[in-house]
Amino acid sequence: AKGGGRAQYRFYSGEMKEGAKRRRQIEEELRSVLDTDQLAMHYQPIVDAQTQMVANFESLIRWHHPERGKISPAEFIPVAEDIDMIKPLGEWALARACRDATQWPDDIGVAVNISALQFECDDFPSVVRTVLSETGLSPSRLVLEITESVFLGGSNRTQRKFEELKKIGVKLALDDFGTGYSSLSYLRTAPFDKIKIDQSFVRGCTEPGNNNPAIMSAIVNLADALKMATVAEGVETKDELKLVVDRGATHIQGYIYSPAITQDNILERAEKGPLI
């Protein structure tokens, strides 16, 4: 038993070393990834629950590494935030998404994930303005998805930034609602157009005795009262779809309709007819 403990310890520390090594390599490679063609943008449809039409596509960044294969944004975005690469990476993503969206049918918008650190940069509104004018995308077709963590930075400057962005004419969505440092006070003054109900509330929502449907109804009712739309994220099954539509979500996103697809794929489908 004694030896077993030690072996376990050694195994654990070996794993830690592997993890730290991978992390260091990802850091190094991230610094120059914009000079390669390893990044791609994929797009997942967000469907209007009433009309069943695609309302927007959410842009989701992809890193295809020549040796390591696909690296998930859930892994490398936090690293980019740590090493001060999120601003250039985020600007690349915003520009690519807006440029691609100009080739879609013009009633379809694009939702772009914005890191809190990117949002906090003083020049963020002017970056948005520049990208819109350079790509020619109509501001009303751009949705910025931000998470509750933008409110941690505090008060006045954040509020001014929201106002500046509304003046530009873009839309704002509160992403991953209910998972972070949720406080209803954020909704009092921030001009959100949309609340995205995190997929953790959708997962398992059809199982008996689950609290998620009640929470979902409460979020939808709150959003309705504030004249905000609601996107149910991560809907995978027919039962989940039925439940979230019954609970009043105005929009649906999830594998039940489609995972994120390439720009080429969108353009091919748009030629043939319906997008989903």
Residues that bind ligand C2E (CB under 6 A): 44, 59-61, 72-74, 77, 90, 93, 113, 115, 175-176, 234-236, 253-255, 260
Is 167 exposed, middle or buried, given 0-12, 13-18 or 19+ CB atoms closer than 10 A? exposed
**Which of 155, 220, 173 is CA-nearest to residue 56?**
173
Q: Residue holding tokens 């590494």?
A: 65
Shortest distance in whole angstroms from residue 254 CB to Ca ion: 11
Q: Which is nearer to ligand C2E, 115 or 230 (CB)?
A: 115
Q: Which entry of Ca ion, ligand C2E, none binds 142, CB below 5 to 8 A by partner kind?
A: none
Q: Which is nearer to ligand C2E, 6 or 119 (CB)?
A: 119
Contact string (CB under 5 A) for Ca ion, positions 104-123, x = contact:
---------x----------
Question: What pairs with residue 64 in β-bridges?
Answer: 70
H or E segment to which residue 145 belongs: strand 142-147
Contact string (CB under 5 A) for Ca ion, positions 144-163, x = contact:
-x------------------
CA 221 remoteness from chain centre: 23
Inter-residue contact 145 to 113 (CB < 8 Å): yes
Q: In the set 175, 220, 223, 263, which binds Ca ion (CB under 5 A)? A: 175
Q: Which entry of Ca ion, ligand C2E, none binds 260, CB below 5 to 8 A by partner kind?
A: ligand C2E
Inter-residue contact 257 to 233 (CB < 8 Å): no
